[in-house]
Amino acid sequence: MAERFLVEAVNDALHVELERDETVMVMGEDVGRAGGVFRATAGLRDRFGENRCVDTPLAEAGILGGAVGLCMAGWRPVCEMQYDAFSYPCLDQLITHVGRYRWRTGGKMQFPLVVRMPYGGGVRAPELHDDSPEAYYVHTPGVKVAIPSTPADAKGLLAAAIRDPDPVVVLEPKLIYRTARGEVPEGEHVVPLGQARLAREGTDVTLVAYGAMVPVCERAADALGDEASVEILDLRSLRPLDEEALLASAAKTGRVVVVQEAPRTAGFGAEIAAILAEKAILDLRGPVLRVTGFDVPYPYWKIEDHYMPSAERVANAARKLLQF
């Protein structure tokens, strides 16, 4: 097994999947000649040609709408949205068509497309390069959502998304694109959607997170040291959601803190809290606490660290819960 950075694992997955299935194609802004602004698609154009790694016009709704038609012609398009917040123009297509078209045909047609994008803050970037839009996507019926936090999962979840017969949005934590490094299986590697990963085992409190918040939770657990035995559940996919793993961990520790960098209200953390209230109330020894971003536009980068959930905020939430 080779050691790779997370973004290199994405690139590896694309090479393997385009090689495996000649109907898979990559499309997006700057994905071809430049190999993507983060180089996630580097080398694909040379290897597979300009028709399977396509530089499109700068038009996110046109990219995703075009992908719908490509699916009807038998292709499996993998669309790159250059940044999280640049994906908002494609929400029109995602909500009005991508999530509904199979339903609209009575299940006769399939739309096996993937939308992948770098997401999240902490990278000292200009406005609208820092958002965590997962709630918009997961709130769209007909669409699945996966978010890796390790290089191996970045490869495996993207491969699963490409092979899935339904539309899948894959959010890649850009903050750890080139800091998360780990062993990645060579060749075909698939991590099934809907299986959470127990990133750390513990008995006193469960930290539930995904994407770039997983390493934040790991640092929080380290900071807590002997104060508590911390379990960390990396959800890996928000839909399908591994409720079994969530409920098992809640039953084990009785205390759950959910961590997301997206704004607080109606974020995915609220969904986790609601599921625990409905299905695990008798297992809980205290309230489900949320550590989140705030209900404000993502701040300018000189003050972004005050917005992003920190290991300290997560550790404090865990302490509060342990003292409840």
Instruction: Give the residue numbers marked as catalytic.
Output: 129
Q: How many residues bind other proteins (CB under 8 A)?
A: 45
For 183-186, which contacts have Cβ atoms below 8 Å and span 24 or more sequence positions?
183/1, 183/2, 183/3, 183/4, 183/151, 183/152, 184/1, 184/2, 184/3, 184/4, 184/8, 184/9, 184/12, 184/151, 184/152, 184/155, 185/1, 185/152, 185/155, 185/156, 186/1, 186/2
Query: Smallest distance from the beta carbon of 218 to other proteins, in angstroms?
Result: 27
Binding mask 218-247 for other proteins (x = CB under 8 A): ---------------------xxx-x----
DSSP string, 62-112: HHHHHHHHHHHTT-EEEEEPSSGGGGGGGHHHIIIIITTHHHHTTT-S---
- Cα distances from 313 to residues 3, 201, 267, in angstroms, run 31, 20, 18
CA-based torsion, 114, 115, 120, 123: positive or negative: positive
Note whether 182 binds other proteins by CB under 8 A.
no
Cβ closest to other proteins, residue 53 vs residue 216: 53
- In the list 105, 179, 203, 265, the residue contacting other proteins (rule: CB under 8 A) is 105
- In the list 106, 126, 187, 225, the residue contacting other proteins (rule: CB under 8 A) is 106
Name the E strands within 223-306: 230-234, 237-239, 256-259, 289-291
Note whether 101 binds other proteins by CB under 8 A.
yes
Residues in the chain: 324
Q: What torsion do the CA atoms of 243, 249, 255, 261 make, to the nearest 10 degrees?
A: -60
- In the list 19, 21, 46, 72, the residue contacting other proteins (rule: CB under 8 A) is 72
Cβ closest to other proteins, residue 89 vs residue 182: 89
Note whether 306 binds other proteins by CB under 8 A.
no
Note whether 194 binds other proteins by CB under 8 A.
yes
Distance separating alpha carbons of residues 305 and 122, to the nearest angstrom: 7
Note whether 253 binds other proteins by CB under 8 A.
no
Note whether 179 binds other proteins by CB under 8 A.
no
Neighbours of 159 (CB within 10 A): 20
Query: Smallest distance from the beta carbon of 75 to other proteins, in angstroms?
Result: 5
Note whether 51 binds other proteins by CB under 8 A.
yes
- In the list 144, 155, 200, 236, the residue contacting other proteins (rule: CB under 8 A) is 144
Distance separating alpha carbons of residues 250 and 69, to the nearest angstrom: 43
Note whether 142 binds other proteins by CB under 8 A.
yes
Note whether 6 binds other proteins by CB under 8 A.
no
Query: Smallest distance from the beta carbon of 283 to other proteins, in angstroms?
Result: 18
Cβ closest to other proteins, residue 103 vs residue 300: 103
Note whether 277 binds other proteins by CB under 8 A.
no
Classify strands 76-80 and 24-28 as parallel, antiparallel or unpaired: parallel
Note whether 30 binds other proteins by CB under 8 A.
no
Query: Smallest distance from the beta carbon of 161 to other proteins, in angstroms?
Result: 12
Residues that bind other proteins (CB under 8 A): 51, 56-57, 59, 61-62, 64-75, 89, 92-93, 96-97, 99, 101-110, 141-142, 144, 164-166, 194, 239-241, 243
